[in-house]
Chain A
Amino acid sequence: MPDRGTLLRVEQLRKVYEHPTGDVEAIGDLSFTMDAGELVCIVGPSGCGKTTLLKCLAGLLRPTSGVVEMHGAPVTGPSPAMAVVFQEYGRSLYPWLTVRGNVELPLRHKKLSRADRDTLVADALDAVGLAHAARSHPWQLSGGMQQRVAIARALAYQPEVLIMDEPFAAVDAQTRADLEDLVRELHARRRISVLFVTHDIDESVYLGQRVLVLSQSPTRVREDLAIDLPAERDQISTRALPRFTHLRTHVYGEIQRAKRGQNVAARPAP
């Protein structure tokens, strides 16, 4: 771990959407912390408030109550130290801009020289293997490539933490495996912290150093599970490890119990 300071602290977070037809309590009472340099996965049943949580963390939504802190300072709005990769890449990239233009847009207001900006954009596109597509438009690319553009845009922004909301839900299995390895590689090489939301249990165990299992809405943290798999992971051999199977079965059971709304079961001995 590069530096073991606390990066994010969430304390008794609660979010209620107010509606004329009745309020929706999306997040009940959620607390966790994340250290700098960590790769944390969040899994939870569909509709349990994962997107809501990420928006609160990213300063896009104001929590109803509770604390979201980054480096000890409350998050009140979008921060230059965070970059979000949204689930709907098709609606998050701008089709009238080229791939280059999309990656460059968030850098325009940063006080950078033309050359520095160009270098950042070229580096980010290179890191996701899309240097050759810089002049294309997003709609000319496949889904997986589009999501890589979104990742490149986030990288070029040079955040401390990358917040990803089910980024690979809409791509095919092979592409998904490639993108998972890309995220792990970026985490390792660029020492970027990653908070990764997914509803795919295998994905969360394969990717994460830690997995937070959320309960059914109104959401709380059901379990905070350390993933003690080797740091060097590989799509075939890691997924074949007995430990991997054990962990994923455990998370699966937790999610099932979360869906049925049961209380937290006693943790099995690891």
Chain B
Amino acid sequence: MTAYPGRIAATPRRRGVGSRIAAAGRHALGLPMLLLVVWALVATRATSRFFPDPVTIADAFVDTWVGPAFVEDVLPSLARLGLGAAASIVVGIAAGTVIGLTPWLRELLEPLLEFLRAVPPPVLIPVMMILLGITDTMKVVVIVSGAVWPILLNTIEGVRSTDSVMTETARSFRVTWWERLWFLVLPAASPRIMAGVRQALSVALILMVISEMFASSSGLGYRIAYFQRNYLIAEMWSGILLLGLVGVLLAVAFGLVERRVLRWYHGIREVHRA
């Protein structure tokens, strides 16, 4: 037997986790820190009561959100957001796969889907209020009705553009329908699907807030609107800060999942760049 020399390209070498996090932290926090200092300086000199200084807001943040408000407002908001996002992902991927794999269904539905996607989701809130009342279900439905589109349309696009040679390979080895779905169609579509999910998450966060501002007696959106109406300015800003933090955490969590799911995809790109 001949000996076959064969070199395997090394996966890009990684620095230690600790130093990586530290470096990322420096990058992520540098500019916000600077802005915070500028803001503090401006706020202490200016007199407008609508722009309290960071310390006041930090105090308000602790007073407002640490304690029962966390359970009464923050958790329900997060639950609606989580439920809405999860439902969007499941429905978007499932429906997108079926539509993407069925040419006649796709041709039938495509104009309709483009129309539905073009409808700004917040306008559905009054409709949903009439149909479903001022309930949690209504808010979750509103979130899904806006967040599902990027996932659905990206999944359709990803699923239909499976590489023809890959499909023929699967066919020639008589790979079963389910195996083809699981090992070929969905992984091949995954970069597009993940791009859709990323968009969907930011849409979901926006809709969570808006639906709560419209029609709710609890939740982050409701609280922020309430503070604003009652001129509790520092509290209002602290709510906005909290929303921003939720958004950042969501993006970080998504980033972690994405790196895992699309490791092959990023790997290929790094190999090509090298």
Contact = CB atoms under 8 A, between A and B. Distances in A.
Of residues B9, B163, B173, B174, which shows the largest number of chain A Cβ atoms within 10 Å of its Cβ? B173
A59 B184 CA distance: 20
Contacts of B169: 84, 86, 92
B171 A136 contact: no
Interface of A: 55, 58-60, 78, 80, 82-84, 86, 88, 91-92, 94-97, 105-106, 108-109, 128-130, 132-133, 136-137, 139-142, 144-145, 148, 153, 157, 178, 181-182, 185
B267 A139 contact: yes
Contacts of B246: none
B179 A109 contact: yes
A88 B169 CA distance: 11
B11 interface: yes
Nearest to A126: B1
Interface string B168-187: 11011111100100011001
Contacts of B163: 91
A96 B3 contact: no
A197 B2 CA distance: 24
16 contacts: A58-B172, A78-B172, A78-B174, A82-B172, A83-B173, A84-B169, A92-B165, A94-B183, A96-B190, A97-B187, A128-B4, A129-B2, A137-B267, A139-B267, A140-B10, A157-B173
Contact of B3 (A58, A82, A84, A129): A129
A32 to B, nearest CB: 21
Contact of A78 (B9, B173, B176): B173
A200 B2 CA distance: 23
Contacts of A109: 174-176, 179
Contacts of B168: 55, 60, 86
A107 to B, nearest CB: 9
Contact of A94 (B7, B9, B184): B184
B6 interface: yes
Contact of A95 (B4, B9, B264): B264
Contact of B6 (A92, A133, A157): A133
B165 A136 contact: no
Contact of A140 (B1, B4, B9, B176): B9
A130 B4 contact: yes
Interface string B212-231: 00000000000000000000
Contacts of A148: 4, 6
Nearest to A153: B173
A108 to B, nearest CB: 6
Interface residues of B, number: 32
A106 B173 CA distance: 6
A178 B5 CA distance: 10
B165 A141 contact: no
Contacts of B3: 129
A86 B173 contact: no
User: Nearest 10 pairs between A and B by C-beta?
Assistant: A129-B4, A106-B173, A91-B165, A96-B187, A140-B9, A96-B264, A84-B172, A139-B268, A92-B169, A136-B8
Given A140-B9, A141-B6, A148-B4, A60 B165 contact: no
Contacts of B184: 94
Contact of B174 (A106, A130, A145): A106
Given A60-B168, A129-B4, A129-B6, A140 B267 contact: yes
Of residues A82, A88, A96, A106, which shows the largest number of chain B Cβ atoms within 10 Å of its Cβ? A96
B264 A137 contact: yes
A97 B173 contact: no
A183 to B, nearest CB: 12
A178 B264 contact: no
B9 A105 contact: no
B184 to A, nearest CB: 7
Contacts of B271: 139-140
Interface string B34-57: 000000000000000000000000
